[in-house]
Structure 1
Amino acid sequence: MTTLLGPTDTPVETTMPHVGGATVLGLRRAALIELALFFAVALAIDVFLLGGTRFAGVAPHPFWLAVLLLTAQYGTNEGLVAAAASTLALRVGNVPAQTIGQDFYGWLLDLSLQPILWFAAAVILGELVDRRRRMAIRLDGELAAARQRERVIADAFDQMSRLKENLEARVAGQLKTVLTTYNAARSIEKFDTGEVLVGVSDLVKSILNPEKFSLFLLNKQHLEAAANVGWAADDHYAREFDANSILFRSVVAGRKLLSAIDPIDERLLSGEGVLAGPLLAVDTGEIVGMLKVERLGFLDLNPTSVQNFQLLCDWIGTAFANARRFEDSQEQGGAFSIARNMLSATLFERQRGLMLALARRVGFDLTALYLRIEGDGVLDADSVAAFTRSVATAAQSLLRATDLVFERREDGWHYALLLPKMRGETAAPVVERLTKAVEDLLEAAHLPGRVRHLVEELHRADG
């Protein structure tokens, strides 16, 4: 029996069952019965078939079978008993006489050699068996401890599951969950100010759930309405606030968050809403506008919602400022458009020359692919943007990371791709899959267009 302590300090008892069941004087009863039956059969065969010679001249001696089997099955003790029984069955009434030319020690050796081998085999093999049994007992104890730990963990998991279910039941009707906030926040983490403004509506609704709200952007010394949600035709809220207005001086100049809960703030709001706060870029301190809530449910206007409103103002202000800075850098640099996931057309010729020089120096294939999308009628800006997104999406899914995609060019081809380590004939199936993918994307966007392409092999590694 082995006693172990589990993770809750509860004793865990494990017992390795004895092979053969019940014991007599520490020996398995089954082993004694098997030993008696073996010698009854063996001695009967010897008496009736071999004339009582105790299997003289038979090699190996049949009694080895009893010693080895019982030792391997039950261990050292039973093996020694089998060796003793084999010795008695061999020598009782069958002790050979000492011959004339044989000294005493030689006679004694002949007499005891076989029993000594039996006892030695019983000890060696039995210890090996006992060691394996002890190892099995230890492993059984470790398994029991592991099962105990598993039960404890399972109970803890069940308890945590019940707690989770209770918490889910408590927050099931609430809109301000972490998941909804995260999904809504992703809608404003964009590189385009227009996309940020589009995502503001979902973010504000998921956190505050207002009936009416509006967003104003700072344009020099004016706050101009950029978006309003829930406004009705008979609403007379102001769409612009100049530097002399109370809201401008309080929110922009004073950087103050106004809440109708406070009587002073309510007078400053002047009936324009229940909450108003500056859109502040946290990292730079820049104010980009104002967020204003005109109508909010009675139970939704509380200190927690005011704190969430402050968080919203900082969040939206930071996202909008980052997007605007990115757009400014794009206009100045113009090297890469993350929004379109393409390199600028002005970079193509330079990159083409560098890649060609590198291909000649290092020795790899280089191929250029030119694409032109032919649509019906005159292409407007929205159609060109849709074409660009389709090409970028198809290229990202089908091409390698080392392939370069460039924006619209001015020589009749809208897009150019540099394909290093690819020959013209190798590029053919790639081009076919790419053009089909672009056309499928255009068709899904209800913008039918035909893709024309030109493959230009710039360099072959073999000359």
Structure 2
Amino acid sequence: MRSPHWKRRLRVVAEFVLLYGALLGADWLVTGGSGFVTLSPNPYGLPILVMALAYGTEAGLVAAMLSTAVWLSHGEQVAPTGDYLERLLGLSLTPLMWFVMATAIGEVTNIRTRSLRRLRRDRQAAAGDAARLDRAYQDLVDANRALQVRLAIDTASPGRVIALAAAAISAPIDQRRTALRDLLTAATRTDDFTCYRVEPDQTARVWLRGTAAGARPVVLPKAFVHQLDRAADPLSVTTAEDRPLLADIGVAAAALRGADGTIMGCLVIHRTGFATMGSHSSAELAEIATWLPQVLDLGAQPVAPAASRAGRG
């Protein structure tokens, strides 16, 4: 975590005081306060180097100004004789080198600091992306596990439906209706359904009920059967125009057709769970209506499923 701005400035000031205090003390102890003018390189260039390396150009230039002030305060010892230009050159050469050093080293430090700051931001962004990917992966793992559990316990899984269909076909006549009821309960995910057989006069009478459909209509209105026969797809309350037709009848209905496309029965779902009434429900019901005529004995003999017929009128 980065320190507050004022704390950083206070630390820099404390380092300035420590560095120059130590140099001034050493100067008085070693040379009697001459400013190390006889030493080359001059020790007062050390704070410039340290500050430029640690904090960049700004701190390096401040150190260069302080060192220059100390240097110029001993001007008589730096250039005691000579003409004006010689004295000016003697006084300015060392401070000039200090300012050049502060600028050059400080800029390198600034570039490095900006690079480190950018890398730190990139690292934080990468860490955030990695965390999001980890959460997404965990969500996928959880969803996959939930799906596997659902497939394992779902009574309407494809394997179970196929097994029940095979059992219904091969069941003895006295057990056939029970096997067919179990098959439709698994396929439709509800026990509140009725399978009607359509008579030649277009009257639809109960042929097979689910265990919860005992109070449902025994005969369907001929107008309903006529509309169901004309519909290209199963009727569903998820479609606005189908709701008036299904009123007081159920939530979905599909026509069961013979090999010639003639309606021979219909499957009505009276009530089902909300989760099963999604956009996929009509497609699933249409699929059930495709293979169900092969299993049911609505006519004189089982018939092959008919191809989907386009709506008429």
Question: TM-score normalised to the size of structure 1?
Answer: 0.35
Q: Which has the higher strand share?
A: 1
Question: TM-score normalised to the size of structure 2?
Answer: 0.49
